[in-house]
Amino acid sequence: MNRKIKYPVGYRQFHSDANFNFQLNRWLPYWDEAEVRQTAAQITGVSSWKQSMLTSADAAKKDGRGLNAAFFYRAAEFFMSANDPDKMHAYDQFLTLFHAEFPDLKARHVNVPFGTGTLPTYIFPATIEKRDTLLIHGGFDSFKEEFIEMVDTFTAQGFDVILFEGPGQGAPLLEQHIPMAPEWNEPVSALIDHFELTQCSLLGISLGGYLAPRAAAFDKRIKRVIAFGVLEDFFDVLACKLPAAGRTLLTGLLHLNAKPVINALLKSVMVKDEFVNWGMDHGMHVSGTDNPYDYLLWSKKMSTKSFSHLIEQDFLLLGGDEDHLIPLHQYYRQIEHLTNTRSLTTRLFTKQEHCSAHCQVGNMQLAIDFIANWLVFQHNNNVDAATD
């Protein structure tokens, strides 16, 4: 790349709401901290988030600060409804401004056929003698461009990197209207077939902590799998936001297939709570469902328990002990499920390391370096074992 972005160290307190505060920290590498604080001060809810981010985006664009503007547009798009007419404009602005800042991006762009659409990929060659190919994908709400900065760490260690978006992510969702399916092995296998890989490693970020293990369980050409953020049970993630009585009620109603009751209850909450309204709307958009009940049924399929025993590869599991999105018990439950891995390495990052938040936002480079070192070790270990 023709410019270098550094991941800041330290999880800032920008906003009293944990959800807003996380997103403000998430994109901090691409912003000026003082400007973020000014923008954050204007945010009182989801609606004001959108307007505050668009105002900052327009100002940065006018000033010629393309990268700042790109990620303010990205942030604005994040909390927009799928039906918001401004959503695609913000997405297009993000892509246009982002790529204008990286005119010398050393990557091939390949659209891989999949179903009725394509999977967009960036291919970055290793900058030293090649060890392996590493596939990288995000999770529930990321774009592939957000992960380009981490690529240099892996290419410098001898890994060709294929960075891609699958169904329900980025361009496949917003441009091609292809929702996400729990069977993540299908798009990953399509990529492996297309690039004629006999083996590779796979890194999944955030919800990728479910998606990547799912792919590895059913495609043994994946030799090493990294869950960059545990996600053992997506329905549990959603249900844990409710009081205990609410979780019990919701689980019981789902067991009874009480679709009209669940839809009525959740829609009444959506009217009153902006965050619930956005979360359900976004979830239905990603999953391709049109009502809360079907979205929750979809989320129940996103559990690693049923297939973790099929994972026989080397496995790296990362977590943060203050993750506001993923309950800590999922980290330990995922470890219990992985009974047949060739090797299992786990790493729970802490507040003292500034790395305890979701996906290690606050000190992402520490986690990325740990992953790269693990990949090199596992690759060398496999090579040595094959030659003994």
- Dihedral in degrees, nearest 10, Cα atoms 178, 221, 317, 158: -100
How far is it, in rounded angstroms, from Cα 135 to Cα 201?
6
pLDDT for residue 42 is more than 90: yes
Question: Is 0.85 surpassed by the pTM of this model?
Answer: yes
Average pLDDT, the chain: 95
Task: Tell me the per-residue pLDDT of 88-112, one tens digit each, with 9 for 90 and over.
Answer: 999 999 999 999 998 888 899 999 9
pLDDT at position 370 is: 98
Q: Closest Cα partner for 143 from 162, 168, 169?
A: 169
Task: Tell me the per-residue pLDDT of 339-351, one tens digit each, with 9 for 90 and over.
Answer: 999 999 999 999 9
286: CB partners within 8 A, 6+ apart: 140, 141, 168, 173, 179, 180
Give 303's strand partners: 233
| 4 or 292, higher pLDDT | 292
Amino acid at 54: L
Task: Tell me the per-residue pLDDT of 323-338, one tens digit each, with 9 for 90 and over.
Answer: 999 999 999 999 999 9
Q: How confident is the model at residue 386 (pLDDT cuts 50, 70, 90)?
A: very low
pLDDT for residue 385 is more than 50: no
Residue 216 in contact with residue 225, Cβ under 8 Å?
yes
Looking at the chain, how many residues does it have? 388
pLDDT for residue 259 is more than 70: yes
pLDDT at position 297 is: 97
Residue 170 in contact with residue 199, Cβ under 8 Å?
no
pLDDT for residue 123 is more than 90: yes
pLDDT at position 1 is: 47
Give the single-character DSSP code of 323: -
Q: How confident is the model at residue 383 (pLDDT cuts 50, 70, 90)?
A: low
Weakest mean pLDDT among 29-33, 164-168, 238-242, 264-268 = 238-242
Residue 7 in contact with residue 360, Cβ under 8 Å?
no
- The CATH architecture annotation of domain 108-233+302-387 reads 3-Layer(aba) Sandwich (3.40)
pLDDT at position 115 is: 94
Task: Tell me the per-residue pLDDT of 172-198, one tens digit each, with 9 for 90 and over.
Answer: 999 999 999 999 999 999 999 999 999
pLDDT at position 142 is: 92
How far is it, in rounded angstroms, from Cα 241 to Cα 244?
9
Give the single-character DSSP code of 308: G
**61-81 b/e with 16+ CB inside 10 Å = b?**
beeebbbbbbbbbbbbbbbbe
50: CB partners within 8 A, 6+ apart: 76, 79, 80, 86
Return the percentage of the chain with pLDDT > 70, whole number. Answer: 97
Task: Tell me the per-residue pLDDT of 134-155, one tens digit each, with 9 for 90 and over.
Answer: 999 999 999 999 999 999 999 9
191-215: average pLDDT: 98
The two three-digit tokens of residue 355, written as one number: 């790395």
How far is it, in rounded angstroms, from Cα 178 to Cα 306?
25
172: CB partners within 8 A, 6+ apart: 117, 118, 119, 120, 165, 166, 178
pLDDT for residue 368 is more than 50: yes
Helices 46-62 and 274-287 pack at an angle, to 10 degrees, of 70
Largest CA distance in the chain: 64
pLDDT for residue 357 is more than 60: yes
Give the single-character DSSP code of 217: H
160-182: average pLDDT: 97
Q: How confident is the model at residue 241 (pLDDT cuts 50, 70, 90)?
A: confident
Domain boundaries, the chain: 18-101, 108-233+302-387, 243-300
Pairing of strands 159-164, 117-124: antiparallel
pLDDT at position 367 is: 98
Name the one residue in this structure whose structure tokens are 């070192």: 373
pLDDT for residue 168 is more than 80: yes
Topology adopted by domain 18-101: de novo design (two linked rop proteins) (1.20.1440)
How far is it, in rounded angstroms, from Cα 280 to Cα 293?
10
